[in-house]
Chain A
Amino acid sequence: GEDVEQSLFLSVREGDSSVINCTYTDSSSTYLYWYKQEPGAGLQLLTYIFSNMDMKQDQRLTVLLNKKDKHLSLRIADTQTGDSAIYFCAESTLSGTALIFGKGTTLSVSS
């Protein structure tokens, strides 16, 4: 069955890099996403990667995909206090269909 696993907490200092990891089980996953959720808010799409890509970079964000190990990571460079939030990894098998989410990683950034 489909399952997405994430570590629950990550604590970093301001200015450091943060790496949030995710593993998934569905080998037919086509798109993998990273969403950010701030307290009391909905989900904000940060970035996504197609399963035939290994890496995608977007400003401070770098996504790495190891399809063989079904492992996805999100690296945030120069982490700021405003990056403190819950980060969700999600997969879908076809564009536009249901997203399967992990439980989220709470990122805490201290100054």
Chain B
Amino acid sequence: DAGVTQSPTHLIKTRGQQVTLRCSPKSGHDTVSWYQQALGQGPQFIFQYYEEEERQRGNFPDRFSGHQFPNYSSELNVNALLLGDSALYLCASSAGTERGYTFGSGTRLTVV
């Protein structure tokens, strides 16, 4: 049973560019959350999607947006990249009957 799959695993972007990260949730999971983990820090909640709607949002600017598709997969988009956006971006999925989240291995984004 595949867990949470994220793509790409690594990418390098230039300041000011836009990036799209993708996530496929664990089979049977319908809720997807995105987290940003800066080096040496704990993950910070960006937002959560359920039934294709943004259900909850953390303290991130509007440059961060997302989408959830009918098959429950999700995308995270970041516009006008800043050097400070360099981080590991983690996707986590869950189902209403389970406790906790299943995390993917993340996408390492480097902004130069």
A: residues with CB less than 8 A from B are: 4, 31, 33, 35, 40-45, 48, 88, 90, 95-104
Query: Is B56 located at the chain interface by the 8 A CB criterion?
Result: yes
B 51-72 to A, binary, CB cutoff 8 A, 1 in contact else 0: 0000010100000000000000
Among candidates A40, A45, A48, A104, residue contacting B42 with C-beta atoms closer than 8 Å = A104
Q: How many A-B residue pairs have CB under 8 A?
A: 55
Task: Give complex CA distance A103, B102 in Å.
Answer: 19
User: Lowest 7 A-B CB distances belong to which pairs?
Assistant: A101-B42, A42-B103, A98-B45, A43-B103, A42-B105, A45-B100, A103-B42
* Residues 4-47 (chain B) with a chain A CB within 8 angstroms: 4, 31, 33, 35, 40-45
Among candidates A35, A42, A97, A104, residue contacting B104 with C-beta atoms closer than 8 Å = A42
**Distance between B83 CB and nearest chain A CB, rounded to angstroms:** 21
B33 proximity list for chain A (CB < 8 A): 98-99
Q: Tell me if B42 and A98 are in contact (CB < 8 A).
A: no
Question: How many residues in B have their beta carbons less than 8 Å from beta carbons of A?
Answer: 25
Task: Give complex CA distance A42, B23 in Å.
Answer: 13
Query: Is B94 located at the chain interface by the 8 A CB criterion?
Result: yes
Q: Tell me if B96 and A96 are in contact (CB < 8 A).
A: yes
Query: Is B90 located at the chain interface by the 8 A CB criterion?
Result: yes
Task: Give complex CA distance A104, B40 in Å.
Answer: 8
Among candidates B90, B94, B96, residue contacting A43 with C-beta atoms closer than 8 Å = B90
